[in-house]
């Protein structure tokens, strides 16, 4: 078992009960004896056999405990699918981890593809109560060890990264492959009724019907919710049109689910099993003591309030569309909106024919716009007054590190990452001034102190949060006709250092820079238009660092280097976002304030600073040299880049 699991389990000890901590310590001691190598599921099965004590015998109680320890996750989604998953275990569709029959199928009667990727924890909990899994990995959910999303590395037949609907495509692909090979083996796909709103699911069901994929069995957790309640219940007639036989069953009765699923497996032809279930609130939140102060909302959750303020201030008509994420952006009760369900392309498509003066706002996660790039291109080239809110949680569901940069590469598009209400308002004002340009606002799901200064006077420019003693004030561009300005030449200042940051990273750098006084320039635009005087200051620095909590390739720092030939070291995210909570995510990418402070100190010392995401074991973010820890690296543009380990 890799060091990430061990480290995460050690970190969890203080949160465990005495009985739980005792078992984890015994499991850690067993691991220290050695011999635990090979695939993770195989290691888990052997460790469970070596330390057979079971602390929990009810997977529902265990699921709650896992989410209490994690502090976040999709507990309700897991509970709504619990009886369905138990039925799959009872039918032998889920063999013990690490076990495989000679045919490579683990002896299972059919292939199982889990389309509801976020219900991985219910499988882990059920494995545990059946004696197949040790307790140790369960204590690390979302905390740098156990992923909450299905992955082949943790024993599932399929891996999901971001988007729901992928699992149905994976199951359809497998059913097609089995058909062309002449196999009569069936494929069972677990999906949710919210997931069926994804456009790719319709394409898969149509394909299965037109190509007679009689090996496909779709099992739907019909709980009436995506992230928000569905406007209408799932249509059994819709499923029957493509899959033929459709049966409905009480999804809370595992025996009834097992009987119906067994019948579908035993009867020739494709089909669907609709399991009626119930689901609570989408996201798990630990209960707070009554005396605890209220938790402030994330910056992204203030979008509804800020949009309402813009409407009051300007009197402009808004048309707001969201792909099932109204709560995430704080829309309810603030502005009227239309929920398209989990249908990102439709959310963009509904803007295409609206009157030009209407401000069209689309709100979903940045990574889900990757499902809709062609539709976005239609919109950015043909829709006026379009504002795209691109949420970035980069938490337990993971994320695409380059999504913001991809959006910036679309035609007629400008990308910003506001970190104050004034910057958000300035971006909307800029959108009104340039209606033919789509304005993408990267909205971070994090709570932070706003910086001491912001770019609200000019969202395309920059502002010194910590000014250098030799810099001229940054002023907005002069709008009236004027003589050609005199561009100051760079003045090389031996030993001078500065840091330039983009969006959310500016709040992290500002915290790291407290007491250090290193000149710090903040930009809200992914591609800022820096005044000549500022460029002269930056070009004159011996050591220049750029920081962004964003993908390095095609990102903020590399753009500054390329456009202005600045001698900058780029500190950014260089691999996709793993399935971890936000704090762990920051650490893995070298973005916590203590890690950034160390980086700033090395920058001022000229100590061979590098840029990267951390070490291969997930210790995260350390660049260049660190006492007691050597970071493996590769040369990228003359800087040493640490190699990061993904959250397993």
DSSP string, 416-455: E---SHHHHHHHHHHHHH-TTSEEEEEEE----PPPSS-S
For residue 647, tell me if it sits in a domain: no
Between strands 463-466 and 520-523, the pairing is antiparallel
Q: Is 269 exposed, middle or buried (0-12, 13-18, 19+ CB in 10 A)?
A: middle
pLDDT tens digit string along 1-18? 678 888 899 999 999 999
Q: Is the pLDDT of residue 619 over 50?
A: no
pLDDT tens digit string along 302-352? 999 999 999 999 999 999 999 999 999 999 999 999 999 989 999 999 999
Of 276, 308, 332, the position where a domain reaches its end is 276
Tokens of 136: 């140790």
- Domain containing residue 91: CATH number: 3.40.50.970
**Maximum Cα–Cα distance across the chain:** 83
* Same domain as 184, residue 266: yes
The chain-wide mean pLDDT, for the chain, equals: 87
| pTM (two decimals) | 0.86
pLDDT tens digit string along 551-602? 999 999 999 999 999 989 999 998 877 777 788 889 989 999 999 999 999 9
pLDDT tens digit string along 67-121? 999 988 889 999 999 999 999 999 999 988 766 543 445 568 999 999 998 899 9
* Same domain as 269, residue 303: no
The pLDDT of residue 94:
93
Q: Show the domain range for 528.
A: 462-469+492-604
Euclidean distance between CA atoms 348 and 67, whole angstroms: 34
Q: Is the pLDDT of residue 44 over 80?
A: yes
The pLDDT of residue 493:
66
* Same domain as 244, residue 205: yes
Between strands 271-276 and 245-250, the pairing is parallel
User: Mean pLDDT across the stretch 149-174?
Assistant: 88
Residue 163 pLDDT class (50, 70, 90 cuts): confident
What total of structural domains would you count in the chain?
3
Euclidean distance between CA atoms 345 and 356, whole angstroms: 20
* Same domain as 172, residue 34: yes
For residue 480, tell me if it sits in a domain: no
* Same domain as 322, residue 407: yes
Sheet of 520-523: strand order equals 463-466, 520-523, 493-502, 541-551, 568-573
Contact present, 167 and 158 (Cβ < 8 Å) = yes
For residue 164, tell me if it sits in a domain: yes
Contact present, 125 and 138 (Cβ < 8 Å) = yes
Of 244, 276, 308, the position where a domain reaches its end is 276
What stretches of 132-222 adopt beta strand conformation (E)? 187-192, 216-222
């Amino acid at each position: 078992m890799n060091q990430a699991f061990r480290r995460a389990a050690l970190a969890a000890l203080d949160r465990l009960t005495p009985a739980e901590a005792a078992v984890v310590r015994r499991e850690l001691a067993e691991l220290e004896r050695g011999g635990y190598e090979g695939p993770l599921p195989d290691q888990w099965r052997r460790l469970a056999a070596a330390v057979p004590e079971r602390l929990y015998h009810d997977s529902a109680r265990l699921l709650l405990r896992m989410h209490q320890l994690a502090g976040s996750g999709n507990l309700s989604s897991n509970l709504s699918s619990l009886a369905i998953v138990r039925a799959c275990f009872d039918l032998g569709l889920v063999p013990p981890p690490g076990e495989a029959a000679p045919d490579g199928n683990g002896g299972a009667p059919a292939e199982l593809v889990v389309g509801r990727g976020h219900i991985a924890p219910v499988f882990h909990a059920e494995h545990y109560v059946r004696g197949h899994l040790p307790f140790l990995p369960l204590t690390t959910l979302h905390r740098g060890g156990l992923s909450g999303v299905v992955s082949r590395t943790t024993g599932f037949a399929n891996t999901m990264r971001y988007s729901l609907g992928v699992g149905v495509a994976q199951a359809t692909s497998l059913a097609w492959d089995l058909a062309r090979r002449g196999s009569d083996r069936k494929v069972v796909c677990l999906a949710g009724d919210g997931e069926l709103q994804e456009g790719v699911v319709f394409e898969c069901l149509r394909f299965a019907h037109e190509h007679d994929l009689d090996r496909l069995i779709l099992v739907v957790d019909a709980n009436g919710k995506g992230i928000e309640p569905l406007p209408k219940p799932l249509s059994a007639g819709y499923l029957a049109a493509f899959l033929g036989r459709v049966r409905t069953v009480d999804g809370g009765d595992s025996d009834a689910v097992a009987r119906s699923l067994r019948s579908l497996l035993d009867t020739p032809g494709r089909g669907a099993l609709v399991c009626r279930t119930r689901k609570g609130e989408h996201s798990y939140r630990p209960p707070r003591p009554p005396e605890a102060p209220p938790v402030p909302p994330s910056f992204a959750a203030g979008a509804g309030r800020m949009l309402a303020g813009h409407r009051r201030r300007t009197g402009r008509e808004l048309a707001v569309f969201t792909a099932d994420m109204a709560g995430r952006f704080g829309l309810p009760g603030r502005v009227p909106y239309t929920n398209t369900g989990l249908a990102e392309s439709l959310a963009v498509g509904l803007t295409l024919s609206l009157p030009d003066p209407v401000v069209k706002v689309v709100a979903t996660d940045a990574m889900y716009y990757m499902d809709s790039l062609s539709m976005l291109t239609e919109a950015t080239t043909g829709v006026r007054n379009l504002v795209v809110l691109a949420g970035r949680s980069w938490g337990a569901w993971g994320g695409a590190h380059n999504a913001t940069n991809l959006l910036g590469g679309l035609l007629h598009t400008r990308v910003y990452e506001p970190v104050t209400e004034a910057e958000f308002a300035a971006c909307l004002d800029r959108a009104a001034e340039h209606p033919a340009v789509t304005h993408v606002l990267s909205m971070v799901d994090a709570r932070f102190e706003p910086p001491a200064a912001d770019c609200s006077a000019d969202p395309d420019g920059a502002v010194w949060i910590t000014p250098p003693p030799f810099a001229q004030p940054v002023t907005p561009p002069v709008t009236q006709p004027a003589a050609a300005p005199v561009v100051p030449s760079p003045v090389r200042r031996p030993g001078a250092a500065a840091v330039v940051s983009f969006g959310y990273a500016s709040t992290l750098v500002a915290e790291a820079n407290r007491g250090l006084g290193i000149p710090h320039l903040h930009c809200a635009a992914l591609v800022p238009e820096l005044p000549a005087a500022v460029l002269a200051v930056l070009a004159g620095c011996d050591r220049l660092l750029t920081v962004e909590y964003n993908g390095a390739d095609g990102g903020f720092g590399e753009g500054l280097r390329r456009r202005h030939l600045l001698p900058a070291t780029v500190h950014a995210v260089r691999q996709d976002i793993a399935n971890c909570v936000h704090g762990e995510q920051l650490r893995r990418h070298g973005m916590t304030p203590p890690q950034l402070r160390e980086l700033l100190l090395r920058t001022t010392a000229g100590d061979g600073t590098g840029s990267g995401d951390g070490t291969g074991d997930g210790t995260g973010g350390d660049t260049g040299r660190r006492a007691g820890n050597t970071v493996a690296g590769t040369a990228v543009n003359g800087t040493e880049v640490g190699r990061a380990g993904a959250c397993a």
